[in-house]
Structure 1
């Protein structure tokens, strides 16, 4: 199987002076990610939804900064119930060993200079305990909450809905 790289980039223009802050996301071999939807359209929707979320977070960075992220692994919350597979996939959340996980490399850049970089392994083993804090209709709500907490902690930026 050929290695696939899907890149979604998003930059947000801030203010009249053309100052910008943003985020770009690259998915490294996404067909090897654990627990992704079967349908190509659903897989693309998941990746686009996460890219859009990183772009929104990028708007919280100081003007002139850009976050570059390479997602190297992704495991969504819950598990697909293969016994019920009928045209629609059903994701079952049990709150046991089915927590969301993500592995990524990142760099925060300003004026061509790397301000901060590293590798991160995100996981939220108690994701079900946060359910009351999160909009229950939001897609990928557990994964987004996990990313929000990492972003706030790593970059010292206040993210709406993040505890602490």
Structure 2
């Protein structure tokens, strides 16, 4: 019986340590850019300044995870496939507001649940610079992305992805920005 209690205590201690070590987008040691690439580079400032955290109904829950880096990697992956040879795309993520919101007034059972409603569309603000093989600027400037009809589109291939609405927003922007 004592061995069982010791094993259970050890398991609980390890679980709480693992939970405490979970990544947080505002962690000072978290990266603020993807590793350099020849074709697509993505950077971002401190996510604590993003609308997602500043205007969240649950700042703690909104900062959990590594969603900024995941979205940055998604931008790189998708842009790399569309970018013509020799061109370079530099993206600075200035702001993110994820789809959905936290509605604390539903009580303690739902305070950590992201509620997806059409009044909470995904939004991003990016600073973009597209150059050709010679370093000449093809396009640059700020891009404000938003999808007010995000609940009407087909997301069947991304149904379980918590970033599915933001990824679809990125795909739509890249198809317009990098017309091939």
Segments of 4+ moved more than 4 angstroms: 83-86, 131-134
Counterpart in the other structure of 2:148: 125
Q: TM-score, normalised by structure 1?
A: 0.74
User: Are the counterparts in 2 of residues 103 and 120 from structure 1 also a CA contact under 8 Å?
Assistant: yes
2:76 maps to which of 35, 51, 55: 55
| Greater fraction of residues in strand | 1
Quick check: 1:26 aligned with 2:58? no
Report the number of matched residues. 143
**Cα RMSD between the aligned structures?**
2.7
User: Are the counterparts in 1 of residues 40 and 88 from structure 2 also a CA contact under 8 Å?
Assistant: yes
Where do 5+ consecutive residues of structure 1 fail to align?
12-19, 158-164
> Is the radius of gyration larger for structure 1 or structure 2?
2
The CA deviation at 1:110 is: 2.9
Q: Secondary structure at 2:153's aligned position in 1?
A: helix
Query: For residues 106 and 90 of structure 1, do their structure 2 counterparts lie closer, same or farther at Cα, with a shift above 3 Å needed?
Result: same
| Greater fraction of residues in helix | 2
1:7 maps to which of 33, 46, 49: 33
Aligned mates of 1:85, 1:9 — CA distance in 2: 40
Where do 5+ consecutive residues of structure 2 fail to align?
1-27, 54-58
